[in-house]
Structure 1
Amino acid sequence: MVTRNEDERKLVLSRPLSIDGESEVDYRAPNLINRILSLFKNVRPGSDLAHFKLPPLFNFPKSHLQCYGETVYCIRSDMLSRCNLANNSIDRFTSVVAWSISTLRPPIFGVAPYNPILGETHHVSRATFNVLLEQISHHPPVSALHATDEEHNIELIWCQQCVSKFHGASVETEVRGKRQLKLLSRGETYEMNSPNLLIRFLPMPGVHWAGTVRIRCPENDLEAELRCGPKSFIGLRGSHRSVKGKIYEISTGRTLFELNGHWDRTVTMKDSNSRKLTVLYNAEEVFSELKTPIVNDLQGVRSTESAAVWSELSQAIMSQDWEKAKEAKNAVEEKQRELLRERQSKGETWVPQHFSVTYSKDGGWDCSPTRQWVPPAPIVVPIS
């Protein structure tokens, strides 16, 4: 979708990733494996890929900020409000676990989103749920998310840094940083992390979520442990979309529920006492008939909005005009280099607009939103 105003400013919004996203992509390069391996021929195993530049032939028409935002606003059923509406602490906690599983999206092998520029933003609303993201650091890449729903007294605060390393036959991206979900009227804060992203080239090409996710709420004395991905590193055993784990009491360590399933299908929950089995999560309810965001107020769109910053590149990729895509990507990057030189010449330090940021010596980033509530956005997700 392309939207224009009188001064020809363009916005490009592409459809959200779905469970069947892999089969829907038609802008990947031919001879994919050979082309990918050629990119890394001069990269040593163990190298940090923070400064690695990906040609537009290997991009798909979204920024990382848009992908992060989609995990919380591109959803068919309103799972977040269910978390707050549940009457008891166990039901609220299991609802949060189900919502956390819903944030997993199927990565697409062979293509990746754009690395956001410093100060890039993404602002979208879904009904009363308003989401705002900002790229608060470029090197290293750190993104912040603030989302609020005043009607349901819900707040999300994320601050995450992606650290990618090349391992010869694979690339592993560690997603550092905490994610907080606050049920304000309940006085409960749920802290959680993200699994890592593993891209394998050989022997079986694919992209997988792998690792352990922990979801913790001290106020109700509950914690969940979710293991994502196969047990075998080369992926010959198990399913790369599997989820196994448990929910237990923090104080006693007593297991309340056992979890098992696949995040792209269903995840079941078995009561450790009664052995009753229920469906905790159903991906079809979450991913079916996802709507592409639309521009509701073009004049209200910031110049830093992802859909505006990368519009020329996104349009070129969707048209498979790779020469134009290369020019568009170079233009964005050169503008950023000019702005950096200008700040350096003036002795200025860039400061985020929407977050207060702290950085610890051990490499941890933390952020606090500068506003209590995220305002309604000029880009909205249509409600079915």
Structure 2
Amino acid sequence: MGSPKKNQSKGFFSAMTSGLSMFGNAMHRSVNGLLGYEGVEVINPEGGKEDAEEEAQRGRWRQEDRDSYWKMMQEYIGSDVTSMVTLPVFIFEPMTMLQKMAELMEYSHLLDRADECEDPYMRLVYASSWAISVYYAYQRTWKPFNPILGETYEMENHGGVTFIAEQVSHHPPMSAGHAENEHFTYDVTSKLKTKFLGNSVDVYPVGRTRVTLKRDGALLDLVPPPTKVNNLIFGRTWVDSPGEMIMTNLTTGDKVVLYFQPCGWFGAGRYEVDGYVYNANEEPKILMTGKWNESMSYQPCDKEGEPLPGTELKEAWRIAAAPENDKFQYTHFAHKINSFDSAPRKLLASDSRLRPDRYALENGDLSKAGAEKSSLEERQREEKRNREAKGHQFTARWFDLTDEITPTPWGDLEVYQYNGKYTEHRAAVDSSDGIDENDVRSTEFNPWQYGNLSTE
């Protein structure tokens, strides 16, 4: 089948036109269409028998698993299932949500380039390309484990980046993360909101992501689009993120608005991202176009969004090579995240790598993984009962709950702030001569190692 020319979007950024009315005609054209960017993948958005058979051959589902899962989940249609459902372990990948958060660091060199960049608009090209780069990892349709309250994930040995994340709330499930190197700091408070629709689930990123570039202190704010996981049970499971990603330089008022095209029948529009970098006067300065699973490119443009004469499309980012036929569709970086090669010395006992259910699943022992997962969940319930009986409340160790409530398109968010204690902890550990270098894998997973109790 030939590739039909993609129709130019008549509603480009339509959801934002009321708030960004001065963006003009540039908002009403598709950059991909403007540049003749084409590409088609045959896919049935609703799922089909052939898709289901292909998925079964890949080992994801057995028919009896689908049937039992469907019966169990029907009662939850229309509900937020983020933390209220005990899910079967065979739909999981051997990674937690805290580790998933760290995947955004794979292309952290793009933030380094943004920090080094003199051009304020190219700074947003690199920073937004960094934000897009993680969507290749997000297309994996296995579910990461929900972290236990107090669970952490630490990472180093990657581009000079130090990363720490902590599960700061169980109901609703919330995580906080902080990363830093010589060029930037990254801070996120994440609270996912979901809506189960039967054979699909909508995921709303109720979170706040901030990046500070250290050279001049520029503060960047990111609002990602929602995500839809299609064909959870019937058909070939796949992920789509239709909508807008907005990154704003809160220091200057410049911003980039990128539109993630929705996937239609025969894959029309799937993966495609296009948009513009705007100055503080809402005038387009640079157009951006590409596919979130391949690459992003940019080109200077005029006030109508047309490419400037004498300029050419240049690549800002390209996906790294990935392992072939990987069981969980992991990238090389995802494997690094899961390994102890990216762990610091004297790993916290609360680290996700040490979870026995995650480790068992990684080794292919689904029976043990399921038993360990149930055991951890029961221990978490017991810890909560004991804490409440004593009149205590949980207090995060590495992040502090602030008084700030920030609005998002999907609801208000309580903001957690990195308190600097992990930096002090890591400096003390690294300067110590008495570190036990025994195999860290033998450390017992313990998210309650500090007690984390407060009577306040």
TM-score calculated relative to the size of structure 1? 0.81
For residues 250 and 96 of structure 2, the distance between their equivalents in structure 1, rounded to whole angstroms, comes to 34
Q: 1:331 aligns with which of 375, 397, 405?
A: 375
Q: 2:312 is aligned with what amino acid? A: L
The structure that is helix-richer by fraction is: 2
The correspondence of residues 1-384 of structure 1 with structure 2, limited to 5 A, is 28-31=60-63, 33-34=66-67, 36-44=69-77, 46-50=78-82, 51-72=84-105, 74-75=106-107, 78-107=109-138, 111-125=142-156, 126-149=158-181, 151-152=182-183, 154-201=184-231, 205-230=237-262, 232=264, 235-236=265-266, 238-250=268-280, 252-273=281-302, 274-275=308-309, 276-285=311-320, 290=333, 292-293=336-337, 294-295=339-340, 300-308=346-354, 310=355, 312-358=356-402, 360=405, 363-371=412-420, 374=423, 375=426
- Taking the aligned partners of 2:371 and 2:194, their CA distance within structure 1 comes to 26
Range with greater deviation from structure 2 (154-163 or 210-219)? 210-219
Change in CA separation of 1:373 and 1:78 when aligned onto 2, cut-off 3 Å:
farther
Task: Give structure 1 stretches of 5+ with no counterpart.
Answer: 1-21, 379-384
CA distance in 1, matches of 2:242, 2:86: 24
1:14-63 CA-partner distances (Å, limit 9, x unpaired): xxxxxxxx99x96633236545534422223x212131221111111000
What's the offset of the Cα at 1:253? 1.6
2:438 corresponding residue in structure 1: none
How much has 1:224 moved relative to structure 2? 0.7
Answer with 106-115 or 180-189: which moved more.
Answer: 106-115
Query: Would you say the 8 A contact 2:226–2:243 is kept in 1?
Result: yes
Structure 2 runs not aligned, ≥5 long: 1-53, 303-307, 323-330, 431-456
Alignment check: 8 A CA contact 2:206 2:412 kept: no
1:129–1:371 CA distance, 2 compared to 1 (3 A): same
Structure 1 residue 143: Cα displacement: 0.9
Aligned AA (1:43): Y
Q: Distance in 1 between matches of 2:422 and 2:217?
A: 17
How many corresponding residue pairs?
Answer: 346
Shift of 1:277: 3.1
Alpha carbons 2:400, 2:418 under 8 Å: kept: yes
Q: CA deviation at 1:187?
A: 1.9
- Which protein, 1 or 2, shows the higher relative CO under an 8 Å CA cutoff with sep ≥ 6? 1
Mark the CA change 1:171 to 1:88 in structure 2 (over 3 Å): closer, same or farther: same
* Structure 1 stretch displaced more, 364-373 or 321-330: 364-373
Shift in CA distance, 101/299, structure 1 to aligned 2, threshold 3 Å: closer
Say which one has the larger Rg.
2
- CA–CA distance in 2 between the matches of 1:194 and 1:236? 25
Distance 1:289 1:329 in 2: 26
**CA 1:258/1:91 → structure 2, altered by over 3 Å: closer, same or farther?**
closer
Give the TM-score taking structure 2 as reference length: 0.69
Percent identical pairs in the alignment equals 21
Contact 2:125-2:316 at 8 Å conserved across structures: no
Q: Do the aligned residues in 1 keep the contact of 2:121 with 2:286 (CA within 8 Å)?
A: no
Contact 2:121/2:279, CA 8 A, preserved across alignment:
no
> In structure 2, how many angstroms separate the alpha carbons of the residues matched to 1:59 and 1:289?
19
Change (3 A) 1:172 1:267: same
